[in-house]
Amino acid sequence: MTDFRLDWDRAARTGIHEAVLCESKAVAQVEAIAAHAAGLGRPLLFTRLGPRKAERLSATVRGLLDYDPLSRTAILGDVPPAAGPPRVAIVAAGTSDLRVAREAERTLRFAGEAATLLADVGVAGLWRLMEHVDTLRAHRVVIAVAGMEGALFSVLAGLVPGVVVAVPTSVGYGVGRGGRTALHAALASCASGLAVVNVDNGFGAAHTALRALGTAHDRSPRRAGRMHRA
Amino acid sequence: MTDFRLDWDRAARTGIHEAVLCESKAVAQVEAIAAHAAGLGRPLLFTRLGPRKAERLSATVRGLLDYDPLSRTAILGDVPPAAGPPRVAIVAAGTSDLRVAREAERTLRFAGEAATLLADVGVAGLWRLMEHVDTLRAHRVVIAVAGMEGALFSVLAGLVPGVVVAVPTSVGYGVGRGGRTALHAALASCASGLAVVNVDNGFGAAHTALRALGTAHDRSPRRAGRMHRA
Amino acid sequence: MTDFRLDWDRAARTGIHEAVLCESKAVAQVEAIAAHAAGLGRPLLFTRLGPRKAERLSATVRGLLDYDPLSRTAILGDVPPAAGPPRVAIVAAGTSDLRVAREAERTLRFAGEAATLLADVGVAGLWRLMEHVDTLRAHRVVIAVAGMEGALFSVLAGLVPGVVVAVPTSVGYGVGRGGRTALHAALASCASGLAVVNVDNGFGAAHTALRALGTAHDRSPRRAGRMHRA
Amino acid sequence: MTDFRLDWDRAARTGIHEAVLCESKAVAQVEAIAAHAAGLGRPLLFTRLGPRKAERLSATVRGLLDYDPLSRTAILGDVPPAAGPPRVAIVAAGTSDLRVAREAERTLRFAGEAATLLADVGVAGLWRLMEHVDTLRAHRVVIAVAGMEGALFSVLAGLVPGVVVAVPTSVGYGVGRGGRTALHAALASCASGLAVVNVDNGFGAAHTALRALGTAHDRSPRRAGRMHRA
Amino acid sequence: MTDFRLDWDRAARTGIHEAVLCESKAVAQVEAIAAHAAGLGRPLLFTRLGPRKAERLSATVRGLLDYDPLSRTAILGDVPPAAGPPRVAIVAAGTSDLRVAREAERTLRFAGEAATLLADVGVAGLWRLMEHVDTLRAHRVVIAVAGMEGALFSVLAGLVPGVVVAVPTSVGYGVGRGGRTALHAALASCASGLAVVNVDNGFGAAHTALRALGTAHDRSPRRAGRMHRA
Amino acid sequence: MTDFRLDWDRAARTGIHEAVLCESKAVAQVEAIAAHAAGLGRPLLFTRLGPRKAERLSATVRGLLDYDPLSRTAILGDVPPAAGPPRVAIVAAGTSDLRVAREAERTLRFAGEAATLLADVGVAGLWRLMEHVDTLRAHRVVIAVAGMEGALFSVLAGLVPGVVVAVPTSVGYGVGRGGRTALHAALASCASGLAVVNVDNGFGAAHTALRALGTAHDRSPRRAGRMHRA
Amino acid sequence: MTDFRLDWDRAARTGIHEAVLCESKAVAQVEAIAAHAAGLGRPLLFTRLGPRKAERLSATVRGLLDYDPLSRTAILGDVPPAAGPPRVAIVAAGTSDLRVAREAERTLRFAGEAATLLADVGVAGLWRLMEHVDTLRAHRVVIAVAGMEGALFSVLAGLVPGVVVAVPTSVGYGVGRGGRTALHAALASCASGLAVVNVDNGFGAAHTALRALGTAHDRSPRRAGRMHRA
Amino acid sequence: MTDFRLDWDRAARTGIHEAVLCESKAVAQVEAIAAHAAGLGRPLLFTRLGPRKAERLSATVRGLLDYDPLSRTAILGDVPPAAGPPRVAIVAAGTSDLRVAREAERTLRFAGEAATLLADVGVAGLWRLMEHVDTLRAHRVVIAVAGMEGALFSVLAGLVPGVVVAVPTSVGYGVGRGGRTALHAALASCASGLAVVNVDNGFGAAHTALRALGTAHDRSPRRAGRMHRA
């Protein structure tokens, strides 16, 4: 028995590539998976790989990875160049939400999609959001990242016509601790049509965006390139 | 032993008049209290007196009450005329929140305060709120009433300088059921300085407003008249 | 002050039409809104209008409505003919989930979108789902409706490439009561890219689907027709 | 893209100054914000800046800050002298609640308001509270800080006429852990008119007090001075 | 198999008599138990026997019962005369808490103990409680019955030296709904030594009191008489 | 303002001595309180004083304390000799529950009461409990300490006639984590008359026992001695 | 599309027959399913079919059903005679738990298994359980049914060697309401090896028992007869 | 008083051997228990013995233990050889679930049962599970170990006829944190007959399996050997 079996056909089936959640894996397990994928010449995305765990990987494996500490992601293999202008915008309500926003951005990038990232546009100073509305309306998908009370989700969904993916974050304290309040605010929003994902799940939000862009359906050249790389 | 002891001196102590929460009281108990207060010639406010319970009161007692079914409140004794222009605005996010907004309005009125009431100004259509901002900024206190995700609280607190009392309502379903989501949104708001009260507590919100107006401290003529009536 | 203000421009802004949630509104309020919209010649969707409340509407208003008791929806105005083959599939895990599935179908239909509806394809008998996989893969969006433990969401997201909207339902008892378990299963799914909405929110799921179809962006003829009707 | 955008006009709009919640920000981010504000010559309040994070700031930035470890607050710029006698009293139920009480005091001071601070006056020894009642009644606002079961909030609200802001703290264990019990006690209090804020939110309580004092409305000299400093 | 087996020896073992919780039993089951006990000539206490269920009992059985609708209790057999002055005081915070207070009183009475019952002495008007302190201090056990935020428990435990049994009630709404807030307040109280029972459990509170009075240990005459009757 | 005010008269009022909960206090605060009490020649009990915090106290203060690391308690002043045979038995379900059981024992001892302590008598091996039943029945009060599912509380209350104080502990994992399951089991027990205290609250359980023993009422010599020592 | 698709092959696959949960199905849906199965000559079990819903079925369908109101189950087709002595014992802690115990018994009977049913053997009177221990030890599977605090599960699992299936019930109030406490007690039990099912799920407990008896594996004659009937 | 009393007769009574949960025990307590058992020549299983605690044991005791860091288990005494082919299969949904799967395997092994262990067969790539179905169907018991949304439990229970023990794990984040979602999914599963144990309880799952194999009942040679060894 080996400890892991990667699902290399997932992209063909669902348009979503296999990735490795490192949070509850041992350093040795992460290392074995990376070596295995490198041996096959396949790119792979690692998420929730904290700095301390990353440092404990062997120098060989670390040399193969493009590591980003803020988002705690690593990419094995070449990051593909983005084809065309961004179709996804990512909006972070506060500076503290940037780590999750960046996880979404990196996941999109791994799939060959560029993204427009806007930071610190929460609703306590509404003008900060308002001056970006036209920009946001020009994207097919907007990923909104917010903690605390998550009011950003409702305001945004009332202003833009595309897919709005709500990513609640665990930023907050007291009743806001752990992201439950922001999550519930997204689900109970009076502005309908939000696509909600789990707390701090920037990775999943990117995948929801990719599904909405219809990549696997369209067989567009951009996607084809991506497939080739894998 | 009698079943109840009213606290007639509370107004002198705290500026807040005694009131009777009818929800878990028997019809006979409500009736006994009303008769007792009427015998003393003292005005009294009854809250959460549902239509069915109100109908089961004796004709004599009902004749003494000014009953409002939407807010489920009844006033025993003369409703005092409001002195001067409204210092409190009440904003209801949706039509369904009006019953709670009206409970706040009636409680204020019982204390001699008029209020400006605005309905259906939720954030999914932000323009509906925006066109009232100047009006709202002109009041000393704004009572915001909202269910579902309660995004109205944060947006409002970022726009007006006075006291903002947040009253979450139980309007909603799924994770929004029972008002917990709106309550937590108010408490975890990124816009600071909100004064939060319990779910559906329009009565308490009015009292928070009265305390903020400083009625008991100011000994203003408006208040004096109120005291006289009692 | 009137009690309601409809947001007729929402479709232009977000591609999502105004609708009326009837659950916590009085019969008189529903009636006033219907009369108002009818007077303006505008179509309107009513959701969560239970049979008992529907029966208490005046004969005049009821004559204007196309009412469906299973989904508890009513449409005021002509239901537009669906343009083209269905782009959305709706999958209900059990017979009991059909009421929510049908709310999604009616909401789509109100926006001019036909849908393919499949019932009773839960995972306890996996073959029932498997024989539909090719059909499901051919749709741009799949709306999955399931209560209890919501295992359908994960299985489905691992099999199809398009947008998968997860609608947890309140079908279940014990720890499954109220839909919280199915909701959390959708959010914590090991199969990424799910777009989750609130419990029993077939209406919201349809809107998420419409956003994903890019209706407002595309300005497709199908949508134009819809706009004309309004 | 920069990571942050400060809202310098908030004071003009709401009477509440911009402040920086440091809890989930990196040291580099806190440092960048401090340097930015210092460059503009603007004062700024930092909250939840723990001693370990404070020590990791550069010597230059630390030299600009007035840091208080108990309340975990830092003030950039001159602390304005308090104008006139205190209008706000702060009451801490136990010694352990002092850190939150002090956060409120520092936030008020940053806005030019002095406060009277009373410690260890919980209700298990009621006489400790009773001997301060006259003092408390002489203030416009009382901020009550309590953890565990939060009985102090109800007792206090029954005794004083002004605004009573309830700040539940996370002091406690078992069912009292995390402050949820004290929070719910404040919200469900039988003594009406409490203004409740989030658990451990001394900062927000001070802002609620400032709104109640009507600073932005009154344009009083005390406030004007404050504006000038900014 | 019969459906029930009464534990007639419990009193000998624990000093606590067998009683029948009727809430989830069918009318036929309650009737069978009553007939069985009557046939044996044994007294029995029935709790949570709502008026509607009581009315559906046969006339024969009803004739055997001393029924009290407020507390929803019925006693089969003679209620023993109380021996000596009350050793237990029962304090109800509000009028709405009386039904639970009375369940405690009836349970004590069934065991031959009289009780002093005081109503409407909540802490919002502290003087109402204060004028009874000497009376309360003279009892061996005080049963405190309170809903909402349950501040009464802490205040009382700080004032009297005997056993204080805290009975939270389900009186309240919003976060206070169902009695969870009052329960947690009793458990997290800063005044130590409270003996807490389940929400609305007046029956259990009486038993805690009986255990504290040491009835079974003391083999006092009062108890002996009780035993004889059984 | 000083940070603390001890309530030396509490014993006279309630028979319960003042004690200091150290968990959320700084080392300096604990030290100041100890020095203050020592200066007055008054004994004092410190609870939840973890080994690491205890080590950081000054040598002078540590020399004054009788410290017990398992229970995390320290006694300032002479521990009084126990007068007479134990009236309280303490039963710990598992070895892990001993730390809480010992906190109860130390608190009793500080009040001059000896206790019988039995360990590892959980219900999975019922015979271990059964062979102690006669011993337990001979005590006026039994304090039962159990985590996990807390079945011990119900079994015990069905076997002994005296006061049974239930102390749930936080021993457990999964749904048992934090002690909530054991707490709810104690409150919902089918064996009535349990006196429940907060999770891990051995200190409070001892106080409940002291109240039940009627110390303050009885003015017994044992107590008088205790008073003298203080 | 039809609304339902029965999984007739499930028994061959898992040894567990298809059954119909009626709780959230309309009368018409139940009726259609019953008619469909009757037309195919297949037996079928209906669960959670309340008396009121059962009465609204057509006389034809009702004539085909063996209905039991206590357990709310109906069997379509002949109930097979039990082959051999019971291998499963069912223990109900209280009279109120009988409805769930009986659902388990009926489900077993539908699969051709007899069961020994014992009622009212809760742990408050431990002797009631103890006198049945030898009987219980003689069965391969014991299904324990208990609400409130569920102490029965732990006591039983410490005494018998076979499979112990724990079925928590919703009998209880306060913290015991809805069965969550009994469920958690079963899961956190100190007596290991319990097989826990959902609250009130007598049906599932019977299936767990059938799996443990190894029916589908053994291909025993008893089972073969069952298969033949289907 | 000693701190522990081992229940050596448990195996005779229930077929389940005594084991020691080390999580909340001090190193000294674990050491004392191990020395005690070694002195008696009895084998013993230690669970939740983390690496750091294991390292702090004396060299003597460590020399007696067969320690496995992944599962955090230690076996004192000889591990018995497995008799015959495996009757239990263990399925881990992800690599992160292996630690719990291995705890089950070690517990079985301690009882003389071999097991087949399969890793990384979650439902997002359904084919990984499907290719093992025949293997799984050939075992009497399948232990399924899964975190996150736990969809594996339902899919598996629909495919295999034997006992399926569901072990939810705490692998996950956001709403999946702590294993509550996987636990609820197992309990609310639409595929009936699951035997659920507590979160992360691989130990208990093994015991449920042993009970289902009927070891204690059968007195099979395999078991006899086990008994002899003890």
Smallest Cα distance from G211 to chain E, Å: 27
User: What digits encode the pLDDT tens for the residues H49-72?
Assistant: 999 999 999 999 999 999 999 999
| Total CB pairs under 8 A between chain A and B | 120
Nearest CB neighbour to D175, from listed E125, E187, E190: E187
The verdict on a CB contact (< 8 Å) between H196 and G193 is no
pLDDT tens for each residue of D48-60? 999 999 999 999 9
Whether C133 has its CB under 8 Å from any CB of chain A: the answer is: no
Distance, in Å, from the CA atom of B194 to the CA atom of E144, rounded to the nearest integer, reads 34
**Using an 8 Å Cβ cutoff, are C195 and C186 in contact?**
no
- Report which secondary-structure segment, H or E, holds C92: strand C88-92
Please say if the pLDDT value at position D31 is more than 80.
Answer: yes
pTM, two decimals, is 0.92
Q: What is the pLDDT of residue H189?
A: 95
Mean pLDDT of all residues in D76-85 = 80
Whether the CB-CB separation of C74 and C67 falls below 8 Å is answered with yes
| Residues whose CB is less than 8 angstroms from the CB of residue D220 and which lie 6 or more positions away in sequence, other chains included | none
- Give A199's DSSP letter: T
Q: Inter-chain contact G124–E10, Cβ cutoff 8 Å?
A: yes
Which ipTM did the prediction report?
A: 0.90
- CB-CB under 8 Å, B187 with D197: yes
The pLDDT of residue A1 is 47
- pLDDT score of F215 more than 80: no
CA distance H102 to A134: 55
F125–H contact, CB cutoff 8 A:
yes
Contact yes or no for D210/D153 (Cβ under 8 A):
no
Q: Do A120 and D25 touch (CB under 8 A)?
A: no
Res. F14 pLDDT band, cuts 50 70 90:
confident
DSSP string, G83-112: PSS--EEEEESSGGGHHHHHHHHHHHHHTT
Query: Would you call B10 and E124 a contact, using CB atoms and an 8 Å cutoff?
Result: yes
Of F181 and A84, the structure prediction assigns the larger pLDDT to F181
Of A120, A128, A174, nearest to D201 by CB-CB distance is A174
Nearest CA in chain A to B192: A124
Q: What is the pLDDT at residue G7?
A: 75
Mean pLDDT check: name the lowest of A19-28, A210-219, E55-64, F44-53. Answer: A210-219
Say which residue, B217 or D230, is predicted with more confidence: B217
Q: With an 8 Å Cβ cutoff, are G128 and E198 in contact?
A: no
Q: Which residues on H lie below 8 Å from C191 (Cβ)?
A: 123-124
- The number of C-beta contacts closer than 8 angstroms across B and C is 49
Banded model confidence at residue H3, pLDDT cuts 50, 70, 90: confident
Share of chain A above pLDDT 70, in %: 91
- Closest chain D residue to F9 measured between Cα atoms? D125
Using the predicted structure, report yes or no on whether residue E139 has a pLDDT greater than 70. yes
Average pLDDT over all residues of chain D: 88
> What number is the average pLDDT over the span G144-156?
96
| Residue A122 CA, distance from chain mean position | 20
| DSSP H or E segment with residue F54 | helix F51-55
**Chains in contact with F, where contact requires at least 3 CB pairs less than 8 Å apart:** D, E, G, H
If DSSP codes are grouped into helix, strand and coil, which group holds residue D175?
helix
A172 inside 8 A of chain B by CB: yes
Q: Is the pLDDT of residue A215 over 70?
A: no
Distance from CA of A211 to the nearest CA of C (A): 5
Per-residue pLDDT reduced to its tens digit, G24-43: 888 998 999 999 999 999 99
Residue by residue, what is the 3-state secondary structure of B105-170? HHHHHHCCCCEEEEECCCHHHHHHHHCCHHHHHCCCEEEEEECCCCHHHHHHHCCCCCEEEEEECC
pLDDT less than 50: residues of chain B = 1, 218-230
Cβ(B117)–Cβ(B92) below 8 Å: yes
Coil, strand or helix at G227: helix
Residue G223 above 70 pLDDT?
Answer: no
pLDDT digits (tens, 9 = 90+) for E123-133: 888 888 999 99
pLDDT digits (tens, 9 = 90+) for G55-110: 999 999 999 999 999 999 999 987 777 777 899 999 999 989 999 999 999 999 99
Q: How far is CA C98 from CA C74, C108, C171, C210, G37, in A?
A: 17, 15, 11, 20, 21
pLDDT tens column, F57-98: 999 999 999 999 999 999 998 777 777 789 999 999 998 999
pLDDT for F2 equals: 63
DSSP run (H or E) holding B11: helix B10-14
With contact defined as 3+ CB pairs under 8 Å, the chains touching E are B, D, F, G
pLDDT at C2: 64
Whether residue E124 lies within 8 A of chain B, CB to CB, comes out as yes
Q: How far apart are CA F139 and CA F136, in angstroms?
A: 6
Q: What are the tokens at A185?
A: 């605010």
Query: How many CB pairs below 8 Å do chains G and H form together?
Result: 111
Percent residues over pLDDT 70 in chain E: 91
**Is D211 within 8 Å of B161 when comparing Cβ atoms?**
yes
* Average pLDDT, 10 consecutive residues per value, chain C (230 residues): 71 75 90 93 94 95 94 89 88 94 96 93 86 94 97 95 97 94 96 96 97 67 29
G157-168 mean pLDDT: 96
Q: Is F183 on the interface with E (CB under 8 A)?
A: yes
Residues 6+ apart with CB under 8 A from A225: A80, A83, A112
From the candidates F184, F196, F226, which should be mutated to test the interface with E, based on the most E CB atoms within 10 A?
F196
Among A110-119, C120-129, D142-151, E160-169, the least confident range = C120-129
Say if residue F229's pLDDT is above 50: no
Confidence of residue G155 (pLDDT cuts 50, 70, 90): very high
- For chain C, the 3-state helix, strand and coil shares in percent, each to the nearest 5, are 45, 15, 35
CA E148 to chain centre: 20
Across F123-144, b (16+ Cβ under 10 Å) vs e yields: bbbbebbeebeeebbebbbbbb
Nearest Cα to Cα of residue B46 among B91, E91, B60, B64? B64
Length of chain C in terms of residues written: 230
